[in-house]
Structure 1
Amino acid sequence: MIKERLKIFRDKIGKENKEIGGFLVTNLKNLNYLSGFDGEGFALITNNKNYLLTDSRYTEQAQKESPDFNILTDEPNKKNARILSLKKILVKSKIKKIAFECNNLSYADFKKYSESFESIEFLPTENIVEQIRMIKDKEEIIKIKKAAQITTESLKDVFEMIEPGVRELDIASELAYTMRKKGAQKESFDIIVVSGERSSLIHGKPSEKKIVEGELFVPYFLANSTASLIDTLLGIFFKYNIS
């Protein structure tokens, strides 16, 4: 699946600008999508090679998760370590133009790269990988269905503990625990559990408030069944009147 994604990615880059010799992937979700790596770092994808740059904490993980990539590691917090690693690649590849994700790369990093590689032109791009990710492949569809199943089953299980006197925090904690017990790796965002007068808080955080009979109760949460960080899985906006 990773090989197929990389092929689609390279084809898209070629259509955008045939002069691009490499692409810096710094968005961690995009990095995971294209490489399978679920750690910290970035990738340089050239016309015929894939490089993953991370630090020594992730060496073993990167080798297991990204077998299609050449792994380059450095020491954590070492000054200019990523620049030096990148330089090793660029000296050999003789790349003249590199595209980067302008929505993700900070100005400080852009300036650092530009000054370190004066002979290379850095070209800003927007949402190249995101556009590819909009069309879900078979693997993603399976994961989305799994996450939807976990989300639905978890809510049904937690219903049994919802009664007057239970705190919003208790319900949120039980939802998180139940989802992980059923196979979720994490929640896609912080679980929202609000009730009564707090139910109008669209992004409200669970509080010490206790559920009161007859009040509106709103849980909103998404299970994430995979490290691929799929954000949009299944949204449930549930209104429950306790009687």
Structure 2
Amino acid sequence: MAQEILNVSQLKVGVEDKEILHGVDLSLNKGETHVLMGPNGAGKSTLGYALMGNPRYEILGGKVTFNGEDLLSKNVAERSQAGLFLSFQNPIEVPGITLGNFIRSSMEQRGKKMTYFKFKKLLQEKMEFLQMDPSYMDRDLNVGFSGGEKKKAEILQLLMLEPSLAILDETDSGLDVDAVKTVSLGVEEYQKTQNGALLIITHSTRILEALKVDYTHVLVNGNVVATGDSAMIDDINENGFERFIK
């Protein structure tokens, strides 16, 4: 029997007194990969930020359960500790805390404690897998990182934290071909080793080429207007979103 990780029911979200999402329904089970596509301004990123608890996004109605518990009653830290992960479209710089210390602190908050030696060894293995210079471990988080290194750093966090649900917001945005390939390998590794649920928010399909996609959802003007399998991605690539907008 499928294990439900996330259930979104009639979720309405507003930003600055404007309703962006108008009653979104979505359900993800353990091990499934869902893709959320749609034209710019449809509300895709709004859904991700609202689920993570960004205070800028106001919940106007609906319910969300995560692993059977009410998600909307939890703050950002509690959602992260419960196993929810969000990679940002534009990762922010955090001066004063190194990438390594940030990941170790995040793991400890999730109850994943280990000796420093074991942590460092595991981190170095994951960085090597993602073709990251090991010196980035001791650099301030995202400070002076290229766009590709910022995205790799987020996938590194994904592999180390092993969340039960990962929301990836435009993870391949602005990346060159080699960086997209590396990031895709990292996401594929998460699929294989963690068997968690994935919600990939994107308007591009480059990162999806190496991944097994179970469901594709189309979001237009704050509503999920269509749901299908991976074949829908090819249809969108060929024909765009015009038929969904109509």
TM-score, structure 2 normalization: 0.26
Q: Which has the higher helix share?
A: 1
Q: Which has the higher strand share?
A: 2
Larger Rg: 1
TM-score, structure 1 normalization: 0.26
